[in-house]
Amino acid sequence: MKKLIFFWKELLASFWFVPVLIIGLSIVLSIGLVTIDSYTNLSHDGWLRLFFVNSAASARSILATISGAMIGVAGTVFSVTLVTLTLASSQFGPRLIKNFMYVRLNQVVLGSYISTYLYCLLVLNAIKDNDSYNFIPSISILVAIFAAIVNIILLIIFIHRIAVSIQADTVISNISDLIAKKVKSLFPEKMGDELKDETAFDEEDAFSAYSKKTSVKSSKSGYFQYLDSETLMEIVTENDTIIKLNHRPGNFLVEGEEIAVLYSKKELEDEFLENILKQFIFGKTKTSQQDLEYSIHQMVEIAVRALSPGVNDPYTAIACVDNLTATLCYLSQAKFPSKYRVDKDAKLRVIANVLAFEGVLDGAFNQIRQFSGGSTAVIIRLMEALKTILNIVSVESHKKAVIKHAEMVCRQGKETIREEKDLQDLIERSDKILKK
């Protein structure tokens, strides 16, 4: 079930699925309304003349005009979308293209125009005007007119949305919101329960009862996208085994690389190993469903591009640092899941490869620091961000990680900042961290 949910979410995030779905609905709608028209004999007298078409020539003219306009605007929408994707790729990085493609409004607008065009063609084909039979689908034509009005409104909204979406502040804000959602769902979903006392746990002692050790290897090269954790826990529990995961979603594996190790009391059958491997989903690209670092790396990429000599936009980089700081402040107080997962009887079943606060901090600030040489404002903001995080953290290991980064930022500043006053400003901020 979890894998089906994963594939469904990926399908909804594709650029083609929603337009195709709308087109399919328009075909069904045209057939249904034409059928209703064929059984309905509406009187077009009085005020109804304002809404319903009375002649076949007028009906054909209206539908032809709407269909021609819709397919023309659909081409314009497609062109604008491609231009937007090109700008996003060059300004924010190719990995940000997904964010623009997955915007639901873009998918709905493209699907709406093409489906209206197709709807008008189908209804137009149903009009009959000859000596033996006269049929004008009045309700269907009225719906086409309303659809055209809605599409005009959608075009205005679409243009506004495109103009806003390519602004750096909007892109950063959207990614920050996505990171916040992923953080609050707390990383990859939990498997089973956690150990109550991890400090007293002896991993080697837990393995002593399992004499057989079997390697689980990747069936193909690609990114580890998703793990069906619930099913995996059920399988290893039913077969009284322990699985140690060497990788987590987001890692790249080559075919034949060891992804996990199984500890069992007897030789494992090939069918069981294949069933285990089915719980791992691989793909050509990364996905954010179980990978918190994916969205963080998107934010980092924007900052790094902003710091490149060809762009030289420190304000965008500072905005990225500010948003990453908010995420790290939340994580500094969050409880990171244990790597030891037990079943309902408190028996060890899974040793997961989980994220640690230091790893997230490294992923968020390392590259920004490395590319910030010569950008005094960004270096100073990095130090301010670390000071803010340190004021919130309570776990000792988290504090050490923040101090480590403060030392690296301070060294970076001493090597690259030439102005004595700016350097003194950085040192004063670093002292508030390093001398605590």
Identify the residue whose tokens are 């990453």.
324
Q: Are residues 261 and 307 in the same domain?
A: no
Say if 55 falls within a structural domain.
yes
The more confidently predicted of residues 179 and 25 is: 25
In DSSP terms, 261 is beta-bridged to 215, 244
Of 81, 92, 220, the residue nearest 155 (C-alpha): 81
pLDDT for 50: 53
Does residue 139 sit within a domain?
Answer: yes
Pairing of strands 348-351, 242-245: parallel
Asked if residue 160 and residue 218 are part of one domain, the reply reads no
Q: Is 70 exceeded by the pLDDT of residue 418? A: yes
CB atoms within 10 A of CB 310: 6
Average pLDDT over residues 360-366: 91
Residue 176 has which token pair? 């920050």
Is 343:242 a contact under the CB 8 Å cutoff? no
Same domain, 298 and 279: no
Q: Is residue 175 part of a domain?
A: no
Q: Name the residue among 375, 370, 366, 376 with its Cα closest to residue 312.
A: 375
Burial class (CB in 10 A: 0-12, 13-18, 19+), 152: exposed
Asked whether 205 and 211 are in contact (CB, 8 A), the reply is no
Same domain, 410 and 272: no
Instruction: Output 192 or 273, whichever has higher pLDDT.
Output: 273
Q: Where residue 188 falls among pLDDT bands split at 50, 70, 90?
A: very low
Amino acid type, 380: I
Residue 200, pLDDT score: 56
Same domain, 247 and 299: no
Domain that holds residue 309: 291-434
pLDDT on residue 42: 54
The domain boundary, picked from 249, 283, 317, lies at 283
Whether 140 is in a domain gets the answer yes
336 and 254 inside one domain: no
pLDDT higher than 80, residue 408: yes
How far apart (Å, rounded) are the C-alpha atoms in residues 379 and 370? Answer: 10
CATH of the domain at 278: 3.90.1170.30
- Same domain for 150 and 23: yes
Residue 195 falls inside a structural domain:
no
pLDDT digits (tens, 9 = 90+) for 45-86: 544 555 577 778 888 999 999 999 999 998 888 888 888 878
In the chain, % of residues over pLDDT 70: 90
pTM of the model as a whole: 0.76
Q: Are 341 and 240 found together in one domain?
A: no
Average pLDDT of every residue of the chain: 83
The answer to whether position 191 is within a domain reads no
Among the listed ranges 13-17, 170-174, 189-193, 346-350, which one has the minimum average pLDDT value? 189-193
In three-state secondary structure terms, 241 is coil
Q: What is residue 387's predicted lDDT score, i.e. its pLDDT?
A: 92
| Number of C-beta neighbours around residue 414 at 10 A | 13
Of the two residues 189 and 388, the one the predictor is more confident about is: 388
- Top-confidence residue, 363 or 48: 363
Q: Do residues 253 and 402 share a domain?
A: no
| Domain end (from 258, 283, 308) | 283
Q: Please, which pLDDT band fits residue 251 given cuts at 50, 70 and 90?
A: confident
343-351: average pLDDT: 82
CB 140 within 8 A of CB 123: yes
Higher pLDDT, residue 129 or 26: 26
**Are 255 and 302 found together in one domain?**
no
Same domain (yes/no): 380, 274: no
Answer yes or no: is 193 within a domain: no
Torsion of Cα atoms, 42 then 43 then 45 then 51, to 10°:
0
143 and 53 part of one domain: yes
Whether 401 is in a domain gets the answer yes
100 burial level (CB within 10 Å; 0-12, 13-18, 19+): buried
**CA angle centred on 299, ends 297 and 303, rounded to 5°:** 110
Boundary-marking domain end, from 244, 264, 283: 283
Domain count, the chain: 3
- Average pLDDT in the 178-189 region? 62
